[in-house]
Every structure is written in C-alpha cells, then in structure tokens.
Amino acid sequence: QFDAEFRRFPLDREKFKSYERFYDYVRSMHKLENIEITVWYTDMHGDLLPINNDDNLQRALNTAKPLLRLFLQRKGQYQPSFSKISGVKKRTLFSTISNPSKTTISRVNISTPQDFRRVSAIVDVDILPETHRRVRLLKHNSDKPLGFYIRDGTSVRVTPSGLERVPGIFISRLVPGGLAESTGLLAVNDEVLEVNGIDVSGKTLDQVTDMMIANSHNLIITVKPANQMNNPV
C-alpha cells in the first residue's frame, strides 16, 4: 500500500506525439506493464493535471523547462494522496470526482439501451451554495469539442468593507449544437469559479483555458449562473 519509487530519466519529446506510446513507455520504465495506471503532472503553477490524451500530453511536454514532474498511481486509487507530495498545490475534495475509483460491486443492468452515454450531470448539489452550480461534462473519448468559449471580465465580491470588483472568468459564447449547449446547464455570462477542483481566482484566461483543455475528457466546472433563476431545484 505504501510502496513508492522515484526515478529520473531523459525523455525525447519529439518521439512522443502519441499518448499511447508515452503511456506504454512510462509503464515500461517502472516495470508496470501489467498494471493499469493514471498519469499526472504538475504545471508551472504547481497545479496537478492529468495526462490522458494526445492534447494534454503535448501541453505537459511543453511545460518541461527543463524538467517534467510526473506522478503515477495505480488506476482506481484516490488522486488526492498526491496533495501530500511536496511542491504540489493542494486541491479541494471535489477534485477526486475527476478520477473516480472503480468498484468491484456487481450491478444489475436494468436499462434497455446498450449505447446510452450520459454527457453531463449536476454534482455536489447538497454541499454547494444555492447560487453556485457544479457541472460535469463527459466527452467519452469523442473528438467533439466542449462547445463553449470563455473571456475575462470583472466580478463583484462581498467583503467586510462592502462590494469589491475583482477579475473573473466568464462563459462568452456557446457553440450551437455543442456539448455545453445541449446540456442546458451552462449559459453565456456564467462566471467560472473552479475547474476540476482548482479555484480559478487569480489565474489568467490562458491558464484557465489550459486547465479546461487538460481535463476536457472529464471536465468538472463550478459556475455562478448569470441568471440565478435557471438554478434547478
């Protein structure tokens, strides 16, 4: 349970354009060929982000100046144990949703459709303020984009001294027919508060964009809806 191995090795980024090749190489380096693992890395801001497709692999390699810090864990174990490692920013409890553990409990299939795939869900309704909404978007390895754009702007916060204007990140546009629009859970001018458990306050538009792309196959976004009347009961 407490075994750990630390290894430093050279990596030619030109040879690893494919996530599958990179994944196999990393497993072979640690002699884990028969074990399914998850791969994470720390970006330049100390945030822990996943490597699970070609796009976020390239973003991870681009952060290697000169070192790329990788974390490997047996698939199915909880990701927050990484937060105890020195130099990694501690994430909130909700970041565990981005890497759900597998369960051995057998389930009875009671639904008729065999190709049904959920593409979105509202999560943590019982622990979030009524004015916030946490939405999970699932791409299921599809190349279909998430279907929304973000912009920077100004938000208003309540402080002991009164109202204060602070920088914020907002949804600027929904792509017609895209994943985000089809869910009905996100809208233009919704303020983005968290991306997969990481608070976006103080981060630039480019940083938040990178976080969303890195987690695009299982994006969990916490927003403050522009129209609070749209909050489902």
**Is pLDDT at 2 greater than 50 in this prediction?**
no
Q: What residues are paired with 200 via a beta bridge?
A: none
Nearest Cα to Cα of residue 219 among 109, 123, 113, 137 = 137
Ordered structural domains, the chain, with CATH: 19-74 (3.10.20.90), 120-224 (2.30.42.10)
pLDDT in tens, 104-135: 455 555 544 444 445 567 777 778 888 899 99
Which region among 69-83, 153-167, 181-195 has the lowest average model confidence (pLDDT)? Answer: 69-83
**Is pLDDT at 182 greater than 50 in this prediction?**
yes
* Distance between CA atoms of residues 26 and 186, nearest Å: 37
What does the pLDDT read at residue 64?
76
- Whether the full predicted model's pTM is greater than 0.75, yes or no, is no
What does the pLDDT read at residue 138?
79
- Give every CB contact of residue 133 below 8 A, 6+ residues apart in sequence: 122, 185, 222, 223, 224, 225, 231
* Distance between CA atoms of residues 195 and 150, nearest Å: 13
**Is pLDDT at 102 greater than 70 in this prediction?**
no
**Is pLDDT at 195 greater than 80 in this prediction?**
yes
